[in-house]
Amino acid sequence: MTGIAGLPVCQFIICLRQRAIHTLLLLLASINAFGNAGDNAEPSFVVVVNKTVPEARLTPVDLRAIFSIRKRSWSDGSPIRVFVLQESDSLHHQFCQSALHSYPYVLRDHWDRMTFSGTGVAPTVVKNQQEMVHMVVKTPGAIGYVHTSSILDENHNLTVTYSYPERSYSYSEEQ
């Protein structure tokens, strides 16, 4: 009995199985290759705080509360000073989506509502990562975020409190 493509039915089924197994093996190999590359990769960004901040680690819940201006003081009662990059900056987009699970425009709308209603003050917007580092270093109670390599190359009074993707990553140096 002839099946599809002029092959007997048994051979056709065997051919389909071989193709399915081959496709599955290729899929598993590609997932494994990409998964391992991500495991060894450096975090895309880190959240940094001024050396005066008492918190050593921050969770994503903490970050959402701080960057949405719902949490306004550190555990010791000192005020939180939030610094963010410009809305058009790609790192700002990555930070909002990965750490805060939000979009930059949603965050901006929230800050605007708080500012216009008089219930809060929007974060200070900085021009670039160098200015972010400078402002966080010189401002007590400050928090911000930078690409990992921008702080590892220099010596600053910063503490890393969160990294993305999350890792057991710690960096704190004195000037």
Which CATH number goes with the domain that contains 75? 3.40.190.10
Residue 25: inside a domain: yes
Q: Per-residue confidence at 114, pLDDT binned at 50, 70, 90?
A: very high
Tens digits of residue pLDDT in 146-166 = 987 666 555 566 777 777 765
Q: Is it the case that residue 57 has pLDDT exceeding 70?
A: yes
95 CB-near residues (< 8 Å, 6+ apart) = 45, 85, 145, 164
Same domain, 95 and 67: yes
More confident residue, 24 or 111: 111
The pLDDT value given to residue 30 = 44
Question: How many domains are contained in the chain?
Answer: 2
State the average pLDDT for the chain: 77
| Same domain for 80 and 159 | yes
pTM of the model: 0.68
- Would residue 171 count as lying in a domain? no
Do 84 and 145 reside in the same domain of the chain?
A: yes
Concatenating the DSSP letter of every residue in 26-61 gives: HHHHHHHHHHHHHHHSPPSEEEEEETT---S---HH
Instruction: Verify that 31 and 66 share a domain, yes or no.
Output: no
In a domain, 140, yes or no: yes
Is it the case that residue 2 has pLDDT exceeding 60?
no
In which domain, by residue range, is 102 found?
Answer: 45-164
Q: Show Cβ contacts of residue 69 under 8 Å, excluding neighbours closer than 6 positions.
A: 82, 110, 111, 114, 120, 121, 122, 123
Residues 15 and 34 reside in one and the same domain = yes
Statement to judge: residues 78 and 112 lie in one domain: yes
Considering the domain architecture, whether residues 106 and 64 belong to the same structural domain is answered as yes
Is 64 part of any domain? yes
- Give a yes or no: residue 170 inside a domain: no
pLDDT tens sequence across 61-112: 999 999 999 999 999 999 999 999 999 999 999 999 998 999 999 999 999 9
149 and 77, same structural domain? Answer: yes
Residues 85 and 145 in one domain: yes
Confidence bin at 168 (pLDDT 50/70/90):
very low
